[in-house]
């Protein structure tokens, strides 16, 4: 199976309405709270809550947080680089989905 095959599923499904605290995301990802503060300052994450102790992150932030930690730990990317990389990866993902939808339409019109 390849990743463009619709029967191929990867990853974890976390519902958007689920929220994580800063402590929970730190435990799950292995990132420090200082890392998250820097990522928030760079715009990589937009938590709800005025103070750090009140921050809540949506369930959809989990994948992004795991990627941010990998970029930081494995590749030693700094906080501005993490924010940029996350945004670019998100754009690439959106373009792939759009291309896949377009490709599906092309295949359906070929069959007619």
**Domains present along the chain, CATH in parentheses:** 19-111 (1.10.1660.10)
pLDDT the model gives residue 23: 97
Taking the model in full, what pTM does it have?
Answer: 0.76
pLDDT the model gives residue 1: 45
Sign of the C-alpha dihedral computed for residues 27, 30, 36 and 37 taken in this order? positive
pLDDT the model gives residue 103: 79
Measured between alpha carbons, how far is 37 from 95 in angstroms, rounded to an integer? 29
Burial class (CB in 10 A: 0-12, 13-18, 19+), 11: exposed
Measured between alpha carbons, how far is 86 from 69 in angstroms, rounded to an integer? 11
**Which segments in the chain show pLDDT lower than 50?**
1, 6-9
Sorted by sequence, the CB contacts under 8 Å of residue 111 that are 6+ apart come out as: none
Report the greatest alpha carbon distance in the chain. Answer: 57
pLDDT the model gives residue 73: 97
pLDDT the model gives residue 9: 47
């Amino acid at each position: 199976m390849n990743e463009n095959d619709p029967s191929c599923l990867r990853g974890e499904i976390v519902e958007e309405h689920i929220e994580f605290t800063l402590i929970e995301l730190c435990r799950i990802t292995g990132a420090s709270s200082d890392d998250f503060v820097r990522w928030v300052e760079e715009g990589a994450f937009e938590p709800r809550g005025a103070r750090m102790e009140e921050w809540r992150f949506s369930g959809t932030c989990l994948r992004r947080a795991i990627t941010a930690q990998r970029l930081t730990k494995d590749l030693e990317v700094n906080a501005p680089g993490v924010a940029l990389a996350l945004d670019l990866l998100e754009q690439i993902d959106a373009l792939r989905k759009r291309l896949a939808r377009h490709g599906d339409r092309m295949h359906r019109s070929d069959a007619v």
